[in-house]
Amino acid sequence: MSDQVLSEMQVKIPDEEWMTSGHVACPGCAAPMAVRYALKALGDNTVLIVVASCWSIIAGPFPYTAVHVPLLHTLFATGGSVASGVKAGLEARGLKDTTVLTLAGDGGTFDIGIQALSAAVERNEDFIYMCYDNEAYMNTGIQRSSATPWGAWTTTTPVKHPKDQPKKDMVAIMAAHRIPYTATATVAYPEDLIRKVQKAKSIRGSKFIHVLAPCPSGWKSEPAQSVLLSRLAVQTCVFPLYEIEHGDRYTVDVWPKQKLPVTEYLRLQGRFAHLTPDAIAQVQECVDFEWYKLVAKAGACGQARPDAG
């Protein structure tokens, strides 16, 4: 038996490619994979807004880009406001069907851009905001962000003083705005990711998609293991795949066939190599607590666990 993926039978990955192979991400970077799938879901009637991040580099040097859609580079703090303005401009020109997709890292979303993002989604502006979360400020040298998990090494949380705060729950913050659609995704479940982006496209108003994006350079992991790490994040329940409609209707989209211990995920990443057995037990306890909370919320919305019969 494999994981139960709600979208598996319904979604076919589109053949069309809107991203070229000429991007300049590090080998094994999950960030371009996420955008490749997102553009497959959206098609070419899309404007991509890229907030300052690794993706500003990944897209390629001017006048070239690695995507076959209009692309606008913008400032670190402005993902929400630029998306609002671009959408208004498109509508003023009668281009009501064009999708605006903002792409930002965790630093640009959880920290620096949270004010503009909060304001835009509170107005229920019509755009999709995708945060690719590699859990640190990678482009400038692996500094900790509020998305960095507890216990992780970064250059500003060295091994002797690893991060001592938990990861900010950005999905809960977006859901608290009661926007029409909030979801999590990873590149290990591409049908699930594509279904969520297509669903977001079909809904008018603000949509937030949080994609875990393994970064071999910052996570000290093997480039060939980024998809595996994305899958293990889901199977250990470190990063569950779920969606929330209108802030309170929870659905768990992938039910691991067997919930794996967090060590399966942590041991493949050098950024966690210093963790003691006690520290790992603490991580496990927090992951279990959050997972059972999520299952309870989905249960309260009428979703039964598949293995509950």
Ligand X SMILES: Cc1ncc(C[n+]2csc(CCOP(=O)(O)OP(=O)(O)O)c2C)c(N)n1
CB 5 within 8 A of CB 32: no
Alpha carbon dihedral 45, 203, 119, 136, in 10-degree steps, equals -70
Of 138, 188, 212, 283, the residue at the interface with ligand SF4 (CB under 6 A) is 138
Peptide bond into 63 cis (omega under 30): yes
The answer to the question of residue 82 lying near ligand X (CB under 6 A) is no
Question: Nearest residue to ligand X, using CB?
Answer: 105
- Number of H helices and E strands in the chain, helices first, is 11, 10
Q: How far is the CB of 21 from ligand X (least distance, A)?
A: 20
Q: How far is the CB of 300 from ligand X (least distance, A)?
A: 33
Which tokens sit at 184?
Answer: 């999590």
The answer to the question of residue 106 lying near Mg ion (CB under 5 A) is yes
Question: 134 vs 206, which CB is nearer to ligand SF4?
Answer: 134
Please tell me the distance from the alpha carbon of residue 305 to that of residue 240, in angstroms, as a whole number: 14
The answer to the question of residue 105 lying near Mg ion (CB under 5 A) is yes
Of 67, 83, 174, 215, the residue at the interface with ligand SF4 (CB under 6 A) is 215
Of 5, 6, 19, 29, the residue at the interface with ligand SF4 (CB under 6 A) is 29
Alpha carbon dihedral 141, 120, 187, 61, in 10-degree steps, equals -50
Of 19, 49, 54, 170, the residue at the interface with ligand SF4 (CB under 6 A) is 54
Stretch of 105-113, 235-243, 260-268, 275-283 lying at the interface with ligand X (CB under 6 A)? 105-113
The alpha carbon of 307 is separated from its chain's Cα centroid by a whole number of angstroms, namely: 27
Residue 44 has a CB neighbour count (10 Å cut-off) of 12
Please tell me the distance from the alpha carbon of residue 265 to that of residue 49, in angstroms, as a whole number: 32
The answer to the question of residue 79 lying near ligand X (CB under 6 A) is no
| 183 contact, one of ligand SF4, Mg ion, ligand X, none, CB 5-8 Å limit per kind | none
Residue 220 has a CB neighbour count (10 Å cut-off) of 15
Question: 149 vs 218, which CB is nearer to ligand SF4?
Answer: 218
Site for Mg ion in 179-208 (CB under 5 A): none
The answer to the question of residue 109 lying near ligand SF4 (CB under 6 A) is no
The answer to the question of residue 216 lying near ligand SF4 (CB under 6 A) is yes
Q: Sketch the per residue contact string, 126 through 155, with Mg ion: x for CB under 5 A, - otherwise.
A: --------x---x-----------------
Where does residue 49 rank: exposed (0-12), middle (13-18), buried (19+ CB within 10 A)?
buried
Which tokens sit at 62?
Answer: 């001017």
Binding site for ligand SF4 (CB under 6 A): 25-26, 29, 31, 54, 58, 134, 138-139, 215-218
